[in-house]
Amino acid sequence: MSKHQQRPLRVAPVFAVVGLLLGTTAASAQTTNDGSDSDQKQGGLLLDIKDYYTAPLHWDLKDWAYFGGTVGLFFGARHYDEQVRTHFIKEGATPSGGSTKDTKDWIPTVATVGGTWILANFVDSTAGHREVGNMVEAGGFSIVTSYALKFAAGRERPNETSDPNQWRKSGGSSFPSIHTAAAFAVGTVLAESGNDEHRILRRFLGYGAVAGYTAFERLKHNAHWLSDDVAAAAIGAASAHFVLERDPARQSERERSSAFTISPLPGGAMVSYNLTFK
């Protein structure tokens, strides 16, 4: 094997790990508590951006375990990159060149954000408007992160080469899938927002009709390798959970629903336990 052929194999793990590290900054990451809640609210988007990209500095063992599992999934998916490409080519995907239908594959994500916005305005729902804002912010984080990783990784798409180990190539834009990252970000917000009354339906639409369908279409259109989709899914879902964890309304709801409460009293404190039957 020539040196030119060996190089992508050596650098691929490096960029894969860096990509997942940046993308999963939100995976179960704890929000920093350096300031008060009012200070965090005033910080707004700029504070979210800072905390998003510095979250690994605050990770605990559980967070690193999630990260390690995500890296494992990525490398496991890499083992099947060629097989998945071959399968979809047999199903009619164009082996090289041709359209990857980039515009069409944005439809589920855009329709979800737009539909949620229309419904929120129709019923004049504050929670709906907040959900749209979370979708946009999570999608923005995932898209910006994915774009940065594309330039760093330079991985060639499956419609450009049959070798999944072609990294650091000029113009390579396969790793990770921006469509899939954004779809998982928006889909996760849809799935995990609101109350539990329609949770099953929300998760079916968010994880299945939006995120899963988009990831499948990118493979079907020979636009990405399987491992590109896996990395993108981690980026999108983690970005969504980061945004949702910082939603003041969700924080207040968790505080209200907490079973244990501690109330300060003169000379001590009172501990109470609340049990709700449904």
Residue 185: its pLDDT value, please? 98
Per-chain mean pLDDT for the chain: 82
Asked if residue 61 belongs to a domain, the reply is: yes
> What stretches of the chain show up as alpha helix (H) in DSSP?
3-23, 37-54, 61-78, 81-90, 107-122, 126-153, 178-192, 199-203, 213-220, 226-245, 248-256
What is the span of the domain harbouring residue 35? 3-251
Distance in angstroms (rounded) separating the CA atoms of residues 181 and 231: 8
Residue 90: its pLDDT value, please? 93
Using one digit for the tens of pLDDT, what is the confidence trace for 51-98? 999 988 988 898 899 999 999 999 999 999 999 999 999 999 889 887
State the pLDDT confidence band at 44, using cuts at 50, 70 and 90: confident
Asked if residue 274 belongs to a domain, the reply is: no
Asked if residue 21 belongs to a domain, the reply is: yes
Among 122, 108, 21, 106, smallest CA distance to 70 is for: 21
Burial (CB < 10 A; 0-12, 13-18, 19+), residue 260, is exposed
Residue 146's Cβ-side half-sphere holds a number of Cα atoms within 13 Å equal to 31
Asked if residue 224 belongs to a domain, the reply is: yes
Quick check: 181 and 229 in contact, CB under 8 A? no
Q: Which residue has the higher pLDDT, 223 or 9?
A: 223
Asked if residue 273 belongs to a domain, the reply is: no
Residue 257: its pLDDT value, please? 44
Using one digit for the tens of pLDDT, what is the confidence trace for 121-141? 999 999 999 999 999 999 999
Q: What is the mean pLDDT of residues 181-208?
A: 96
Residue 249: its pLDDT value, please? 64
* pLDDT above 90: residue 273: no
Residue 85 has a CB neighbour count (10 Å cut-off) of: 23
pTM of the predicted protein model: 0.78
Using one digit for the tens of pLDDT, what is the confidence trace for 218-268? 999 999 999 999 999 999 999 999 999 987 766 555 444 444 445 555 555
Residue 142: its pLDDT value, please? 96
Distance in angstroms (rounded) separating the CA atoms of residues 102 and 83: 22
Asked if residue 116 belongs to a domain, the reply is: yes
Distance in angstroms (rounded) separating the CA atoms of residues 177 and 212: 13
Amino acid at position 152, single letter: A
Asked if residue 118 belongs to a domain, the reply is: yes
Residue 271: its pLDDT value, please? 54
Residue 48: its pLDDT value, please? 87
Among 128, 115, 234, smallest CA distance to 185 is for: 234
Amino acid at position 65, single letter: A
Residue 246: its pLDDT value, please? 85
Asked if residue 179 belongs to a domain, the reply is: yes
Using one digit for the tens of pLDDT, what is the confidence trace for 212-232? 999 999 999 999 999 999 999
Q: How many domains does the chain have?
A: 1
User: How large a percentage of the chain has pLDDT more than 70?
Assistant: 73
